[in-house]
Amino acid sequence: AQSVTQPDIHITVSEGASLELRCNYSYGATPYLFWYVQSPGQGLQLLLKYFSGDTLVQGIKGFEAEFKRSQSSFNLRKPSVHWSDAAEYFCAVGDSTGFQKLVFGTGTRLLVSP
Amino acid sequence: NAGVTQTPKFQVLKTGQSMTLQCAQDMNHNSMYWYRQDPGMGLRLIYYSASEGTTDKGEVPNGYNVSRLNKREFSLRLESAAPSQTSVYFCASSEQAISLYEQYFGPGTRLTVT
C-alpha cells in the first residue's frame, strides 16, 4: 500500500532563510504527489502537485518541489521564507487501489522566527 | 462560489450524545470525503463517497455513519460519541474527471467529547 513519511515534526526557520521540507513516499509505479498547507484554524490548501513530466514543479506562494524517483522523495522548497508561511505542511500521494484516494503524511509544522 | 462549507465550526458533546456534521460543496464535484485530524497522525480517511448514491469505508470508519444526501451534500453522523472521537473533522471534495486525486477542503469542525 502507498505510504508517505514526513520525518520532521517541527522545523524552525528564520525569516528570509531558505526552507526545505522532506517527504518520502512508498509506491510501486509513478506516483501522483501533492503538497498541502494548513494555516492555523483553517482547512488544507493545495500548494502544488506532480503527475508526470518535469520533475521540478512550481506552486503557489513561491513554493516549489522536486520529484526524485531514485530517492522516492518529493521535497518542498522555498528560497526565502516569510512570517506568513508559518503553518503545517502535508505531503500526500495518490492511492490507486480501488477508488482513487489520497494518503497523507503526518505533517511538518513550520515555525518562522524573526 | 463558497467551495466546501462545513457546519458547525465547533461542537462540544457529552459521551453518548449523537450529532451530525454537515458538509456541502458548490463545485459540482462527484466525490466527497470525511477525514479526521489528530496531532501527530495527519489526516485519516473516515468515509468517502465516490459518486452520488455510493459510500465506502475509509481507514477509520468505526463509530461513524455517513449519508450522501445529494450531489452537493455529505454528512457524517456520530451515533454515540466517545472521547476518542475528539478531533478536527474535515470534509473534502474532488472531481476525478478533471484532476486526478486533487481534493478541495472545507474549514473543519472542531469536536470535543467530554
Q: Does residue A52 register a pLDDT over 90? A: no
> What DSSP designation does B11 have?
E
Nearest beta carbon to residue B42 from set A45, A100, A106: A106
Calpha distance A61→B111 (Å, rounded): 31
Low-confidence ranges of chain B (pLDDT < 70): none
Q: Summarize pLDDT for B15-43 with one digit per residue, the tens.
A: 999 999 999 999 999 999 999 999 888 89
A49 in Cβ contact with A33 (< 8 Å): yes
Which chain B residues have a beta carbon less than 8 Å from that of A45? 105
Which chain B residues have a beta carbon less than 8 Å from that of A40? none
CB hemisphere CA count around A89 (13 angstroms): 30
Q: Does residue A109 register a pLDDT over 90? A: yes
* Grid coordinates of B86: 475528539
> Which pLDDT score, from 0 to 100, does residue B28 have?
94
Give per-residue burial for A70-98: e unless 16+ CB within 10 Å, then b.
eeebbbbebeebeeebbbbbbbbbbbbee
Nearest beta carbon to residue A101 from set B4, B45, B106: B45
B101 in Cβ contact with A32 (< 8 Å): yes
Residue A31, chain B, CB below 8 Å: the answer is no
Residue A100, chain B, CB below 8 Å: the answer is yes
Q: Does residue A10 register a pLDDT over 80? A: yes
> What is the share, in percent, of chain A residues with pLDDT greater than 90?
75
Q: What is chain A's mean pLDDT, rounded?
A: 92
